[in-house]
Amino acid sequence: MSTVAELLRQSSQHLASISPTPRLDAELLLACALGCSRTHLWAWPQATPEPHQHERFRRLLQRRLRGEPVAYLLGRREFWSREFEVAPTTLIPRPETELLVEQALSLIPLKSRWRIADLGTGSGAIAISLALERPLTHVVATDICSQALRLAKSNARRLGARNVAFLLGDWLSALAAQSFDLIVTNPPYVAAADPHLKGEIRFEPAIALVAGDDGLDAFRRLIPQTKLCLKPGGFVLLEHGFRQAEAVAELLARAGFTNIVCHCDLEGRPRSTMACLAK
């Protein structure tokens, strides 16, 4: 029977053909199959897994080699230092979306009782992170997909976020008469013909990624709606593609927003835009 060290070496070699992080993937999948931590693998490289664990690892490895994202195989992904449950009904939270959380937190005063909405919450990563960092705020998270909303609720419960409510609906339709200090969203913004959609991303829900021919359809719909649900002086904060900053700023300006500011991600690419509704 192969040892942990041998399994890791062989599987990383196979994974190198499909993944930029073959060793990490192999460790995460083996730890999952053995029901232990990665640290445990490093501490016991000569251990020989049981046949049923070996089989479990083999099956995970096969799925990974077909391109399935590690986060779906493990059923979880870390975001803003917390573990979120994820499933193929939701987008896998991305590191670049942590920028959105960072921008939102820089706006929300520490002890504020702001009302915040997160549109298209998916796994709930943005809404729950904000709710936990600013426990006196009230966060409302919406999603059009009931399975996603169930997962988001379960994440909120497990992570102890009590100040977040979940509503089923298309963008702001569930929020009718409510008004917010901040509306934040990571909507779908990929163009339908983007070649990027053929990669690993094909396992993620198209509804959370694709927004028409130019990737701007969701912004066209939701920007005019956000205006109706913001308090005067309220903010909107949007994640977008790195070539969309100008188009998004134009849609915001046309809808009457002011103080439009774009922020870059860690790679220096324009990635999110903030704007204010005049008082």
Q: Can you give the binding site for ligand GLN, defined by CB under 6 A?
A: 94, 96, 186-190, 201, 209
Rounded to an integer, what distance in angstroms lies between the CA atom of residue 12 and that of residue 26?
Answer: 6
Q: How far is CA 232 from CA 179, 226, 258, in A?
A: 9, 12, 12
Name which of 114 and 171 has its Cβ closer to ligand GLN: 171
Measured CA to CA, the distance from residue 229 to residue 140 in angstroms comes to 12
CB atoms within 10 A of CB 232: 9
Nearest residue (CB) to ligand GLN, 22 versus 69: 69
Three-state DSSP string of 105-122? HHHCCCCCCCEEEEECCC
What is 87-102 written as a DSSP string?
A: -TTSPPP-HHHHHHHH
CB of 190 to ligand GLN, least distance (A): 5
- CB nearer to ligand GLN: pick between 97 and 155: 97
CB 136 to ligand GLN: min, Å: 28
Q: Which helix (H) or strand (E) holds 257?
A: strand 257-264
Q: Which one, 51 or 195, has the nearer CB to ligand GLN? A: 195
- Alpha helices, DSSP H, located in the chain: 4-15, 22-34, 38-43, 51-65, 70-74, 95-107, 125-133, 146-159, 217-228, 245-254
Closest CB to ligand GLN among residues 45, 199: 199
Work out how close the CB of 95 gets to ligand GLN at its nearest, in angstroms, rounded to a whole number.
10
Q: Which is nearer to ligand GLN, 49 or 187 (CB)?
A: 187
Residue closer to ligand GLN by CB (options 96, 133) is: 96
Cβ–Cβ contacts within 10 Å for residue 237, how many? 23
Cβ 241 to ligand GLN, closest distance in Å? 7
Q: Cα(16)–Cα(217) distance, rounded to whole angstroms? A: 36
Closest distance of CB 110 from ligand GLN, Å: 28
Query: Closest separation between CB of residue 198 and ligand GLN, Å?
Result: 12
Instruction: Tell me how far, at minimum, the Cβ of 108 lies from ligand GLN, in Å.
Output: 22
Nearest by Cα to 238 from 274, 210, 267, 211: 274
